[in-house]
Chains A and B, each alone.
Chain A
Amino acid sequence: MMRRIFAVLSVAFFGLIFSSLAINYTERQSLRPLAASYVKLVPQDLGAPNVITGILLTYRAFDTLGEVAVLFMAAAAVGLLLGKSGQGRRHSPSKISDRAKSSSEIVQSGAQILVPLIGIFAAYIIMNGHRSAGGGFQGGAVIASSVLLLVLASARYQIDLEFFSVTESAAGVFFVLTGIAGLIFAGGFLDSRVLPLGQFGAFISAGAIPFLSVLLGIKVGCELSVIIDRFRA
């Protein structure tokens, strides 16, 4: 009873604060100076039509690197919590296929048709991140969804964890190497202007942004796939 009263009180207090926030909020009529300069600078200096990708992969690319590190740490924590000992891990494939019920014909055929399409869609999202809506984070999540579909469709499907961790580490190394190249050849760490800007809006343009986007997509996709795999029984 005491606990319930405490919960009601604290939610009511937060509700009071939030309602004053919501009532006093007035919609902005123009951009803040920082946002206005980003909207102007990203197309002009970086040659990327999508302002958000320009911010994510150049102006705040160091932040993005940190976010990917957090994601890697989460994958490692899930592995630590759910991983079996080396012996058990090796024996588990046969056990999994014995215990898990194989999914129905519809799911299996659907996965066979959908997984390549999802892969193409993920590649499209990642490669068009600098031109229209999309980017590495979103495309990586789509890649992980195709892995999830594979895992759901066949109980016997085993993710090659070795391959995923090597690919992911290589993507991370290239990401940092691109950053160091920016430090040497351009304005600073992870400056995307190490490569020529190209024609505005073209498929290969905007300096190193498409390259960084691909690396980010691979890294996020591998990490999320490994997390999904850890949750199998």
Chain B
Amino acid sequence: MTSNVVLTTGLALILIGMWGLLTHRNILRIIIAFSVMGTGTHIMTVAIGYVTNGTAPIIDRALNLSEAPVRAVDPIPSALVVTAIVIGLAVTAVMLAYAIRLYQSKKTLSIDAFTESKW
């Protein structure tokens, strides 16, 4: 039940990001929409790894070794999302750097001004 709510939230965030990506003309807003979309995919991936009544896959006093395979959540999506968040940050940094360069070349952030790469 919990993971259904989280999964729906993640998918909704992806749709919101997609909507922003398609409708906004300001490059900074497009970058924000891209980040929202990326966050949605992260939330969705974590939700898929949830197991009913599961807990974090860390063996300690609260979760001993014998009951770990029954009570722990799937560790693989979590491991993937850890790296995906850091890579998402790096990709956002590259996008912002491009935005700065584009602003320097045309003194505007509207993508309507950049017609060279239009097809």
A186 within 8 A of partner (CB):
no
Cβ-defined contact, A27 with B50, below 8 A? yes
**A27 with B76: CB separation less than 8 A:** no
Considering only CB atoms and an 8 Å cut-off, how many residues of chain A contact the other chain? 60
Contact B18 A38, beta carbon cutoff 8 Å: no
Of the listed residues B1, B78, B91, B93, the one surrounded by the most CB atoms of chain A closer than 10 A to its CB is B93
Collect the chain B residues with CB atoms within 8 Å of residue A42's CB: 75
With contacts A56-B83, A67-B87, A82-B97 taken as known, whether A50 is within 8 angstroms of B74 at the C-beta atoms is: no
B51 near A28 (CB under 8 angstroms)? Answer: yes
Give bound CA distance, A44 to B59, whole Å: 11
Tell me if A11 and B79 are in contact (CB < 8 A): no
B94 to chain A, nearest CB (A): 5
Taking CB atoms and an 8 Å cut-off, the chain B residues in 70-84 that contact chain A are 70, 72, 74-76, 78-79, 82-83
- A152 at interface by CB-CB < 8 Å: no
Q: Which of B4, B49, B56, B69 has the most CB of A within 10 A?
A: B69
Is residue A184 within 8 Å, beta carbon to beta carbon, of the partner chain?
A: no
Cα A9 to Cα B119 in complex, Å, equals 21
Query: Is A28 in contact with B90, judged by CB distance below 8 angstroms?
Result: no
- Whether B91 lies near A74 (C-beta < 8 A) is yes
CA distance A35 to B51 in the complex (A): 11
**Complex-state Cα separation, A75 to B56, whole angstroms:** 32
Give A67's nearest chain B residue, CB to CB.
B83
Chain A residue nearest to B59 in the complex (CB): A49
Contacts of B36 in A (CB 8 A): none
Contact indicator B3/A18 (Cβ below 8 Å): no
Q: Which residues on the A side are within 8 Å of B98 (C-beta)? A: 81
Which one of A86-94, A132-140, A153-161 is at the B interface? Answer: A132-140
Asked whether B82 lies within 8 Å of A138 as measured between CB atoms, the reply is yes
- Determine the distance from Cα of A34 to Cα of B98 in the docked complex, in whole angstroms: 40
Contacts of A3 in B (CB 8 A): 22
Beta-carbon nearest neighbor of A223 in chain B: B90
Chain A 184-214 near chain B by CB (<8 Å), digits 1 or 0: 0000000000000000010000000000000
Question: Is there an interface contact between B51 and A11, defined as CB atoms closer than 8 Å?
Answer: no
Report the stretch among A97-105, A117-125, A170-178, A224-232 that lies at the interface: A224-232
B114 close to A (CB within 8 Å): no
Which label, helix, strand, loop or mixed, suits the secondary structure of the B interface? helix
B8 neighbours in A (Cβ, 8 Å): 22
Of the candidates A27, A40, A55, A201, which one forms a contact with B69 in the assembled complex, judged by CB atoms under 8 Å apart?
A40
One of A7, A35, A49 near B19 (C-beta < 8 A): A7
Residues of B within 8 A of A78 (CB): 93-94, 97
The residues in A between 15 and 65 inclusive whose CB is less than 8 angstroms from any CB of B are: 15, 18-19, 21-22, 25, 27-32, 34-36, 38-40, 42-44, 49-52, 55-56, 60, 63-64
**B residues lining the A interface (CB < 8 Å):** 1-4, 7-8, 11, 14-15, 18-19, 22-23, 49-52, 56-60, 65, 68-70, 72, 74-76, 78-79, 82-83, 85-87, 89-91, 93-94, 96-98, 100-101
A interface residues, Cβ below 8 angstroms from B: 3-4, 6-7, 10-11, 14-15, 18-19, 21-22, 25, 27-32, 34-36, 38-40, 42-44, 49-52, 55-56, 60, 63-64, 67, 70-71, 74-75, 77-78, 81-82, 132-133, 135, 137-138, 140-141, 201, 220, 223-224, 227, 230-231
**Closest A-B pairs by Cβ, 5 of them:** A74-B90, A7-B22, A51-B57, A81-B97, A49-B59
